[in-house]
Amino acid sequence: MPAMVEITNAEKTYKGGFQALKGVNLEIREGEILALLGPNGAGKTTLISTICGITMPTGGTIRVGGHDVVTEFRKARALIGLVPQELTLEPFETVWSAVRFSRGLFGAAPDEAYLDDLLKRLSLFDKKHSQLQELSGGMKRRVLIAKALSHDPKVLFLDEPTAGVDVELRRDMWEIVSALKETGVTIILTTHYIEEAEAMADRIGVISDGQLLLVEETASLMARLGKKEMRISLAEPLTEVPASVSDYELTLEEDGALLIYTYDTRAERTGIARLVAALAEAGVVISDVETRQSSLEDIFVGLVRKNDKEDAA
């Protein structure tokens, strides 16, 4: 299947000289949900804005549905729905006029049946004639999604759909997004929360300092995050890992005084009890034990270091 969004060497340098995107390469498949994860100022909104044609890339090419977002802006933009990071709605407008107007903006012919169905899918149908100021925060977010989908786009961008939203509403949003996926819409969302990316996305892209550090299937990334280390301090240093425990994932550090066991917290058994017993059996005396979980931050740091080294090379 061809890529729905193809980003090749995308760069963005803002007026004033700040480079917010430093050569991003990414392909997003039709029908997938991709989460862009990264800290404040990483370039998530900038990347979305360049794909949506809100800001011009200063280098590279971006295609949506095969259309170049600069030279074939209208064709590309017609395929895109965007829910921006900043919430903007007219207080006195009704839900209905808001979605109808958004559809009109894209030059799509009026289609009340499509819009009614959309409002039903987003549980907004009974609010069709309510003014936006009468709606709760969660409903307002749904209206923004309805507006973004009003012209039946093929790709939906959600820029931090759950920022400042309570847990219940967040789960609600996750359900809405997975229901949209069922309709075949390709979805790109940004978030600061790893658990959110895990709950919703097929793949996760990590972006930091204008660079895409990795893109990986959610399951395999989460498996890496599930790795935990048990750091076993030894009373007497060892010269090598005892043969009786050689089938464990063990490394010796600090001149043999520290034995590190890496295990998967998601595995049914961690093997810790058997390892400790086997070490005792082999006559190894343990003086202290500490465990550490590799966090997304560790992965970030590891990746950034690797990047720096490659840059220097």
Ligand X SMILES: Nc1ncnc2c1ncn2[C@@H]1O[C@H](COP(=O)(O)OP(=O)(O)OP(=O)(O)O)[C@@H](O)[C@H]1O
Residue 218 vs residues 7, 59, 195, 257: alpha-carbon distances, Å: 20, 29, 11, 36
Binding mask 59-88 for Mg ion (x = CB under 5 A): --------------------------x---
Task: Note whether 103 and 111 are within 8 A (CB).
Answer: yes
The distance of closest approach from Cβ of residue 224 to Mg ion in the complex, given in angstroms and rounded to an integer, is 25
* CA 218/CA 200 separation, integer angstroms: 9
- Residue 43, contacted partner among Mg ion, ligand X, none, CB below 5-8 A by kind: ligand X
Task: State phi, psi for 100 to the nearest 5 degrees.
Answer: -65, -40
- CB-closest chain residue to Mg ion: 45
Toward Mg ion, which CB reaches closer, 44 or 77?
44
Q: Based on the shown chain and the rule CB under 5 A, indicate whether residue 208 belongs to the binding site for Mg ion.
A: no
Can you tell me whether residue 278 is helix, strand or coil? helix
Side chain identity at residue 100, one-letter code: R
Toward ligand X, which CB reaches closer, 46 or 102?
46
The distance of closest approach from Cβ of residue 171 to ligand X in the complex, given in angstroms and rounded to an integer, is 21
- Residue 46, contacted partner among Mg ion, ligand X, none, CB below 5-8 A by kind: ligand X
The distance of closest approach from Cβ of residue 305 to ligand X in the complex, given in angstroms and rounded to an integer, is 21
Q: Which residues bind ligand X (CB under 6 A)?
A: 14, 16, 18, 20, 38, 40-46, 85
The distance of closest approach from Cβ of residue 13 to ligand X in the complex, given in angstroms and rounded to an integer, is 9
- Measuring CA to CA, which residue among 209, 229, 205, 199 is closest to residue 217? 205
Strand partners, 205: 36, 215
Residue 257 vs residues 4, 228, 244, 246, 291: alpha-carbon distances, Å: 53, 19, 18, 17, 16
Side chain identity at residue 223, one-letter code: A
The distance of closest approach from Cβ of residue 174 to ligand X in the complex, given in angstroms and rounded to an integer, is 19
Question: Residues 6 or more apart from 41 whose CB is under 8 A from it?
Answer: none
Binding mask 2-41 for Mg ion (x = CB under 5 A): ----------------------------------------
Residue from the set 20, 43, 45, 155 that interacts with Mg ion by CB under 5 A: 45
Side chain identity at residue 246, one-letter code: S
- Residue 245, contacted partner among ligand X, Mg ion, none, CB below 5-8 A by kind: none
The distance of closest approach from Cβ of residue 142 to ligand X in the complex, given in angstroms and rounded to an integer, is 21
Toward ligand X, which CB reaches closer, 44 or 151?
44
- Measuring CA to CA, which residue among 240, 269, 252 is closest to residue 261? 252
Q: What angle do CA 47, 48, 49 make, to 5 degrees?
A: 90
Using CB under 5 A, count the residues that bind Mg ion: 3
Task: Note whether 143 and 132 are within 8 A (CB).
Answer: yes
Toward Mg ion, which CB reaches closer, 189 or 245?
189
Per CB under 5 A, residues contacting Mg ion are 44-45, 85
